[in-house]
Structures are given as structure tokens and as C-alpha cells.
Amino acid sequence: MLKGIDPLLDADLLYVLAAMGHGDELALVDSNFPAASIAKRLIRLSGIDLVSAARAILTVFPLDTFVDSPVVRMEVVAAPLEIPEVQQEVFSACEQAEGRSLSMASLPREAFYERARQAFAVVATSEMRPYGCLLLTKGVITG
């Protein structure tokens, strides 16, 4: 255990988050996402819901200020404008962690899968609500 570090952030996840550079993307996904077949690097947070995982990650992970939307969500098939509650909750956690208003973009399911293949890592949670899939773009920490 480390002082001041959320206990959900294990050594493997902390390593991945620290290794990421400015502009790298992290896919934060639900239990239905095909994480094992898509991920370059896969971190499993078994027994952890998406919102808890996001809140823990956001304690050490700055969101990018150089892109229009540092948060990208997977669109609901046949209802692309619908924003599921789980996505709203994660987006709210992002704004709270950053202390600023953010913009959230969206991608159709297959385009989201393709972008997740390019992500630095995929963090697979045990979230059971569908469409709990988002991409977070890492920002910088200034002196």
C-alpha cells in the first residue's frame, strides 16, 4: 500500500498510467467489452465498477487540455445521441476531478473498437451496465 494512493490503483495499473505520455489514450471499459482481443496492454480491475475505477484513475491521471474532447464515449447502437447513465456518471467524475467543464465526443461502436485497439492500454472493469466504454486522453502536469 502507498500513502495517498487510491487502493484500487494496483502496481500494474500505476505502472501503465505513469508510462503513458501526453496524448496517449486509455480505454476504460465494461465487462462486455472484448478487452482481451483488442488491448495492446490489458489491466483487469475485477470486482470494480466503471465509476469507481474512473474516480481512482482520475486521482493521478490528468486529462488533456490540448484536445477538444479528452473524453470519448461509445455510442449506443441505433440511438447515437442517447448518453447512458454510466457514461454520464464517468463524465461527471472527469469534470469533478479536473475542476473544469469538459467536452465529451462519441464514436459508433465499431469505430470505438478500432480506436481502443490503438489505445496505450485497456482497463477492463466488472461494470455490468451496457455501454460503459470510454476513452480518456492523458494530459500534462505542469510545474
In angstroms, the CA 89 to CA 39 distance is 24
Range of the domain at 18: 11-137
Is the pLDDT reported for residue 143 higher than 90? no
Active-site choice (5, 22, 103, 111): 22
Q: What is the pLDDT of residue 132?
A: 98
Domain presence at residue 1: no
Residue 137, SS3 per DSSP: strand
Which CATH number goes with the domain that contains 123? Answer: 3.40.1650.10
Q: What is the pLDDT of residue 142?
A: 82
pLDDT in tens, 20-30: 999 999 999 99
Q: Active-site residue 72, yes or no?
A: no
Q: DSSP letter for 62, please.
A: P
**pTM, 2 dp:** 0.97
Domain presence at residue 78: yes
Confidence of residue 1 (pLDDT cuts 50, 70, 90): confident
Domain presence at residue 19: yes
Rounded mean pLDDT, 71-92: 98
Domain presence at residue 142: no
Q: What is the average pLDDT value for the chain, to the nearest integer? A: 97
Domain presence at residue 6: no
Q: How many independent structural domains does the chain possess?
A: 1
